[in-house]
Amino acid sequence: MKKRQLGTSNLHISEISLGCMSLPPNPAEAEEVIHAAIDAGINYFDTADLYNKGENEKVVGTALKQHRHNIYLASKVGNRWEEGKEGWGWDTSANYINKALRDSLQRLQTDYLDLYQLHGGTTEDNWEEITDTFESLKKEGLIREYGISSIRPNVFMPFLQNSDAISNMMQFNIFDERASEFFDSIQQTGASVVTRGSIAKGLLTNEWRTRLKPFMSYDEADANDVLQKIEQQFGDVHAAALAFNLQYPTVASTVIGARTLTQLKQNLDAYEKAQLLQNISEIDKWTKTDRYTEHR
């Protein structure tokens, strides 16, 4: 498993990382997937306090406890929820971020996070306060680095340009290339992109024929046309999807989800095959150049 530097930080994370939101709620089953991921060379694990309202962090913390100093652990903040109550609100105040981090650390059974990400953001947020809070947490040694998870250019670009944030987690795949417009600008700030949604909810896998449906600006016929060309040219749609994301130097890692060992193995096999694919940029000849139309 190859590794890439995350922004300008000292974190060198695996090209494939595990998005823990997809893990089964059963701790033993989740632990099995996480330990298999570690054995395969995955060293970066992404969760959030919002996932199953803290329960996901508890499962991840238990599974990673014995491996803590050999892996990188990331979580997110901003969605304020209360146990026993429906829904959640948005809170980026210094008081809340400080409290939320300490709650996450307790659930994750660790005394620091390698990366703490703002889980969204709006133009109305107090960005100076947010940045100052993250910097303060760094000084305390409670987080090593901070970043954001956002697909709003008018949110993530000013934040990256006016802080020492090292990453933005963004949806990006063959059928949703909107983020690529900002890859160069993001890299110029000293940050990297971590991609999510890389296989388009299973559409960009070798089972695509049974999963064929509209996705983003592609209707079923459009998607079918692109997928047939990818399969014909590269032989493996899943491998091509991962290679497509990893062709960009701005991308430090592609997050994959795995509920089972079988799904994890499918992703790892695709990653191995992706190493052998050449001329992956050919795919751009067959796809649309979509752009973000809102929050610019």
Query: DSSP states of 141-155 as a string?
Result: TSEEEEEEE---HHH
Contact 148, 165 (CB under 8 A): yes
Q: Active-site residue among 44, 51, 72, 271?
A: 51
Looking at residue 78, what is its pLDDT?
A: 81
Percent above pLDDT 70 for the chain: 97
Looking at residue 120, what is its pLDDT?
A: 84
Average pLDDT, the chain: 93
- What's the pLDDT band for 184 if we cut at 50, 70, 90? very high
Of residues 165, 168, 190, 189, the one with CA closest to residue 179: 168
Looking at residue 52, what is its pLDDT?
A: 64
Looking at residue 53, what is its pLDDT?
A: 64
97: amino acid identity, one letter:
I
Helices 261-274, 237-246: axis angle to 10 degrees equals 70
| Other Cβ atoms within 10 Å of 48 Cβ, number | 23
Judging by DSSP bridges, how do beta strands 3-5 and 113-118 pair with one another? unpaired
State yes or no: is 51 an active-site residue.
yes
Domains and CATH numbers, the chain: 3-285 (3.20.20.100)
Contact 110, 63 (CB under 8 A): no
Q: Average pLDDT of 45-53?
A: 77
- What's the pLDDT band for 181 if we cut at 50, 70, 90? very high
Q: Which two tokens stand for residue 46?
A: 């992404």
Looking at residue 230, what is its pLDDT?
A: 98
Give per-residue pLDDT as tens, 71-95.
Answer: 999 999 987 777 776 777 778 999 9
- What's the pLDDT band for 115 if we cut at 50, 70, 90? very high
Looking at residue 276, what is its pLDDT?
A: 96
Looking at residue 94, what is its pLDDT?
A: 94
Helices 153-161, 127-140: axis angle to 10 degrees equals 50
